[in-house]
Amino acid sequence: MFLIRRIYKTKPGEARKVATLGHKACTLLEEAGQRRESRVYFNGGTTPGERNLVVLEWIDESIKSVFRGENEFPEDALTFARQIGPLVDETWIEFSELLTPDKMID
């Protein structure tokens, strides 16, 4: 199991808009069976921490490329993703392996 986080460093004042677009894309992916339930969180400057960050986070059994042959990516989700592009300065993805009972050491 993996925790997957897509992080966006937005242009100033765009964090809430990017979070909204990201949430819409995540919802479409969940409805299409492409992704488990996602969480979206952001800091537009009203909370402590680094400003103008948006995080889309979900758990998956494995790390899979969106470009894999059998993937039927919903076109509407791509529309939201394209709208995000001009609103961000930087984006990256993080993968962390989750500790599950079968991975624990005695």
pLDDT digits (tens, 9 = 90+) for 97-106: 999 999 999 8
Helix-then-strand count for the chain, H and E = 2, 4
Q: Are 58 and 38 in contact (CB under 8 A)?
A: yes
Residues with Cβ < 8 Å from 95, sequence gap 6 or more? 2, 3, 4, 5, 63
The average confidence (pLDDT) of the chain is 92
Q: Which residue has the higher pLDDT, 70 or 14?
A: 14
What is the third-level CATH fold of 2-63+72-96?
A: Alpha-Beta Plaits (3.30.70)
CA angle 69, 71, 77 (to 5 degrees): 135
* Region 25-42 average pLDDT: 91
Looking at the whole model, is its pTM more than 0.85?
Answer: yes
Structure tokens at 13: 């004042």
Residue 81: pLDDT band with limits 50, 70, 90: confident
